[in-house]
Amino acid sequence: MPARGDTTGELIERVRKAVDAEPLDRASAVAVAERLEEEAARGSGRSELLEPLLEAAQELGRRGHGDEVTYSKNVFIPLTNLCRDRCAYCTFAVQPDSPRAKTYRLDEVRETSRRARQAGCREALFCLGDKPELAYRSYRGWLDQQGYASTSEYLVEACQVAFEEGLFPHSNAGIMDEDELRALRPWNASMGLMLETTSQRLRERGEAHYYCPDKDPRLRIGMTRDAGRLRIPFTTGILIGIGETPEERVDTLWTIRELAGEGGHIQEVIVQNFHPKPGTSMSGRPAPSDEIMAGTVALARLVLGAEMNLQAPPNLSPTSLELLVRSGLNDWGGVSPVTIDFINPEAPWPELEELQRRTEAAGYRLRERHGAYPADIAGRPELFDPRMLAALRADSDAQGYPVGTSS
């Protein structure tokens, strides 16, 4: 049995075998994650383990996805930035009396969607606060005046508006029950919920998720399972650097692997790095180093396998895109030419020309995709409402890529 006391050479051997012979087991993954953390803490600038880890993950990624790295051209529509959770690292969520409080009217959704489609976007990313109607009477009253019983009910109509304007919605709206997911499914090409972490410890006083009832890992795991039962193409992921241990990172990846195996619906897994923000209680916490970020992506590739679509946001690692390309990822996620990243407004999207140049410099091809993945559009019709599938295929080639894009 592998042990945390294994030498770096023994861990390197296990990593290399994970490509061909012996899939990386949990104990070995924990040992690798802990050794990467130890090497980073020493601050020597030299990791004996990182390079072999990257080489193994890159090889596995190439076997699953060749030399292609994809992205989705999207528009970010933050339907409401009211939220009942108060994450210790978040500046997106505000109180109703904040001058930044904003809930999009349907005519604003339509105008934003129309402008985005004219700019060549295909995905409408709806990202919003979690169940603000449970926390704020004024917002609950506004919903009632508009004729909606909940934010999720309002979101259904907003997605329909975006779809009518030629976009394919992807909703990331926090915790929803099975009925809410079922109502949203016809108007979404895909949906998502970041697992972030399986650590219950981070819900304790003083930790990142203490004031966040919807960040209970059990709720997020349950919703991901519900999405699998409903056959919804689903995005999830891990957030690193919020106080979790290396072992907790591996536990989160392991849980995602199990959920993907159970439901067969997880279309992509995001490895996202914490970004410190002024005005938050975690503003003084450092972001994960480039090496820890790349090493975690590489570890995710070895845990999740060659076929999984693995993503890292390029705007959160602008100086290390080439290193990330070598870590086994095959997707950059959504990149918007018309809106900022409202969750991380301090981190601008890279220009698509620059993203293409740097991806190609690392030996890969950049290719546009829909918010749902090509293989699912072309080969898994059961994942989509018939109307959504017809629209996606009308805008796709035989492989499931958007028409008018090149390989």
pLDDT tens sequence for the chain (407 residues): 446 678 999 999 999 999 997 789 999 999 999 999 998 888 766 789 999 999 999 999 999 999 999 999 999 999 999 999 999 999 999 999 999 999 999 999 999 999 999 999 999 999 999 999 999 999 999 999 999 999 999 999 999 999 999 999 999 999 999 999 999 999 999 999 999 999 999 999 999 999 999 999 999 999 999 999 999 999 999 999 999 999 999 999 999 999 999 999 999 999 999 999 999 999 999 999 999 999 999 999 999 999 999 999 999 999 999 999 999 999 999 999 999 999 999 999 999 999 999 999 999 999 999 999 999 999 999 999 999 999 999 999 999 999 987 55
CATH assignment at residue 197: 3.20.20.70
66 C-beta neighbours (distance < 10 Å), count: 11
Q: How many domains does the chain have?
A: 1
Take residue 360 and report the two structure tokens written for it: 């190609």
Q: Return d(Cα 114, Cα 112) in angstroms, integer.
A: 5
Q: pLDDT at position 45, please? A: 62
Q: pLDDT at position 44, please? A: 60
Q: Return d(Cα 268, Cα 236) in angstroms, integer.
A: 7
Domain membership of residue 214 (yes or no) is yes
Domain membership of residue 74 (yes or no) is yes
180 C-beta neighbours (distance < 10 Å), count: 20
The DSSP secondary structure of 324-375, one letter per residue, reads: HHTTT--EEEEE-SSS--SSSTTSPPPPHHHHHHHHHHTT-EEEEE-SS-HH
Task: Look at the block and give the residue holding tokens 């976007």.
Answer: 121
Q: Which residues contact 92 (CB under 8 A, 6 or more apart)?
A: 78, 81, 83, 129, 342, 343
- The answer to whether 56 and 298 are in contact (CB under 8 A) is yes
Q: Which domain holds residue 283?
A: 60-394
Domain membership of residue 28 (yes or no) is no
pTM of the model: 0.96
Q: Return d(Cα 11, Cα 344) in angstroms, integer.
A: 35
- The answer to whether 294 and 323 are in contact (CB under 8 A) is yes
Q: pLDDT at position 3, please? A: 60
Q: Which of 279, 288, 281 is nearest to 316 (CA)?
A: 288
Take residue 145 and report the two structure tokens written for it: 């005046």
Domain membership of residue 39 (yes or no) is no
Q: Return d(Cα 117, Cα 112) in angstroms, integer.
A: 9
Domain membership of residue 348 (yes or no) is yes
Domain membership of residue 51 (yes or no) is no
Q: pLDDT at position 42, please? A: 84
Domain membership of residue 351 (yes or no) is yes
**Angle, helices 8-20/50-65, rounded to nearest 10 degrees:** 10
Q: pLDDT at position 405, please? A: 72
Domain membership of residue 52 (yes or no) is no
